[in-house]
Each structure stands twice: as structure tokens, then as C-alpha cells.
Structure 1
Amino acid sequence: MSLTTLIELLERLDENHVQMLDLAAAKKQAIMDNDIDSLVDIMSRESKLTKLSAQLEEQREQSVFAFLQGVGIRSNLNLNLTELSRLVFDPEDKARLLHIQGQLADTLDRLKKANELNQRLIEQTLAFIDYSLDLLVGRPNQEITYQPPSGRPSSVSRPGLFDARG
């Protein structure tokens, strides 16, 4: 395999991550709209893209090893793209490699931020659901029927959301 093959694999990885970024935006909207059916569909498509990413990553590792073999390095070094670019002497190839590295890093950073935002939205949604259930169902041991203050047994205290006695 040549450097061109490696660059093509990196470009495919970037395209895959851009698709995942699009799904992250759709997921954000589905979470905000509370659209469970869309969310399930998006997560299914995300799973397929994640599997494809793993396959492309495996191919990338094989391509790096083949490239290293081609330049005379016989050990299986775990080099990052910056270190690998030092072994590329053709200015055009080096520029292409460094360009896709920057592009891929930017896409991955945006994807990470989108996923973190979606995680926070899900956590907020779950907290809201929990709070809503507490309001609808009531806290454990909370009186279900109204009793005038004078009719309440003195040993039962009503738990509230906030304990001001602290």
C-alpha cells in the first residue's frame, strides 16, 4: 500500500465522521422534540457508522504498517500522523497528509462537542422527567389526602423538595 491509499482511508474516515456529526445534529433535535422513534432510528444509523469507523481504523493501521515497510522500517511502530509525515519527503504528499490530519482533527473535535452537548441534554431531560414524576406521584410517605394542620398526627412531617432545616 502506498501513501495515497493511507490518505484515501483518512479521507473516508473523515467523511464517516462528518456523517456522524450530521446524525449528532439530528439527535439533538430529536432529543429536544422528545421524538423517541427518530432517536432510535438515529442511534441505529450511528451504530452502523461506528462499526464502519472501526473497520476503516483497522485498514488505516494496516496501511500505516505497509507504508512503514515501504520506507524500510521493519518494526510495527505506533506513529501519529505528524510523526509519520516526517517520513514523507514529497512536498505534495506531505501537504496532503497534513491537510487531512487537520481536517480529521477538526471533525473529531466538533463531533466530540456535539456528543457532549447531546449527553447534557439527555441528562437534563432525565432530571426533568424525574422531577415531573415527583410532582405527579409525590414523594414516598407523603400524605395523599388533605388534612387540616390541626388534624395531622404530630409525628408525621411532610418531606419537601428542599430541607430548610439544614
Structure 2
Amino acid sequence: MSFQGLLIALNSLIDIHDELLQLARDKVTIVVRNDVDALMALTAKETRLIARLEDSFREMGSSAADSWKEIGLTARPGSRLSDLIQAVPRADHKTELRTLAARLKERHNELKVINERNQLLIQQSLELIRYELDLITGPSEQEITYAPPSAGQGYVGGASRRSFDTRA
């Protein structure tokens, strides 16, 4: 039944979000400890979870399309899960879908906040590294951008040559 497939897909999405939340929390301590190897291992786990998330999301879309057909309606382009919940005729199914959708949205929002915080933490860590490198290497003596030589710093190794002979 397509409704059961939709419930399974939503539960799978919630489980994956829970795993991503745990990894995001772990990432905070890893970044603070500056453990690059652990960060790379964690990133590999995140990549695998994101692949699973995409599969579950596709499964949810497929199950949602089947659910629309099952209730005898066609999904509009851009229709959302909330639209399907309103169209479901059974109250117990609506309640179950609303509960799962609310849990998924809650996990998604929490993950978004933690990821934004982690991104800020990583940016601050990179700024600290740049600052420490500047302290070690010292200030740059030479400008990096091009500037034409000033009038007093021209060629001084002989008589200046004109590019246009006025005697001709």
C-alpha cells in the first residue's frame, strides 16, 4: 500500500536526520579539538548518510505520487506533503502523517541550526589559522598588486633614451 510506503519513507528520513544530528554534534567537539583525521572520517560518514537521505527522499516522492493516485487525485506540480495530508480522507492517516511531518521538520530545523553553528566555528578556526600563519611568516613587504614604478624609480644605469628622435 502506498500509504505504508510513505510512512516507511518518512520514518527513514527521520532516522537519517537523527544520525546526521548526532554527527553534527560530534563535529563540534572534533573541530574544537582540531582533530583533522576524525573530521575527515566524520565527513565520509556524512556523505554516506546524505546518499541514503537522497534515496529515502526519492522513495518518499514515489510513495506520495502513489498515494495521490490511491485517493483518486492527481498531484499538482510543486505540491507538498502538507497538500497530500489535507487530501487524505482518513483522519487516522492524517494524524499519523502530520505527526511524522512535524517530527521531520523539527529534526531538519535543528540540523540546520547546528550546521550553521558548525560552519561559523570552522570559519573562525580558519581565521585563527590565517592569523597564526601571518604571525609566523611576518608581514608581507611587497605589495601583491601591480603598481607602475614611480617617477623617481626609473632606470638609473646609464643615459636615459628617448623613444622618439626629435632631430629627424
Using a 3 Å threshold, how does the CA distance of structure 1 residues 57 and 46 change in structure 2: closer, same or farther?
same
Equivalence map 1:60-99=2 (5 Å): 60-74=60-74, 77-99=77-99
Quick check: 1:65–1:76 contact (8 Å CA) kept in 2?
no
**TM superposition score normalised by structure 1:** 0.81
Question: What residue in structure 1 maps to residue 145 of structure 2?
Answer: none
Equivalence map 1:75-154=2 (5 Å): 77-141=77-141
1:94-135 CA-partner distances (Å, limit 9, x unpaired): 100000010000000000011101100000000000011111
Count, aligned residues: 142
Alpha-carbon distance, 1:139 to partner: 1.1
Tell me the amino acid that sits aligned with residue 50 of structure 1.
I
Identity %: 29
Unaligned runs of 5+ in 1: 143-166
Tell me the amino acid that sits aligned with residue 43 of structure 1.
T
Please tell me whether residue 38 in structure 1 is matched to residue 42 in structure 2. no
User: Following the alignment from structure 1 to structure 2, what is the Cα–Cα distance between the partners of residues 75 and 12?
Assistant: 23
Using a 3 Å threshold, how does the CA distance of structure 1 residues 62 and 76 change in structure 2: closer, same or farther?
farther
Alpha-carbon distance, 1:75 to partner: 5.1
User: Following the alignment from structure 2 to structure 1, what is the Cα–Cα distance between the partners of residues 91 and 74?
Assistant: 24
Question: What residue in structure 2 maps to residue 164 of structure 1?
Answer: none
Quick check: 1:23–1:46 contact (8 Å CA) kept in 2?
yes
Alpha-carbon distance, 1:2 to partner: 2.0
Q: Secondary structure at the match of 1:13?
A: helix
User: Following the alignment from structure 2 to structure 1, what is the Cα–Cα distance between the partners of residues 65 and 81?
Assistant: 12
Structure number, greater radius of gyration: 2
Quick check: 1:81–1:98 contact (8 Å CA) kept in 2?
no
Q: Secondary structure at the match of 1:86?
A: helix
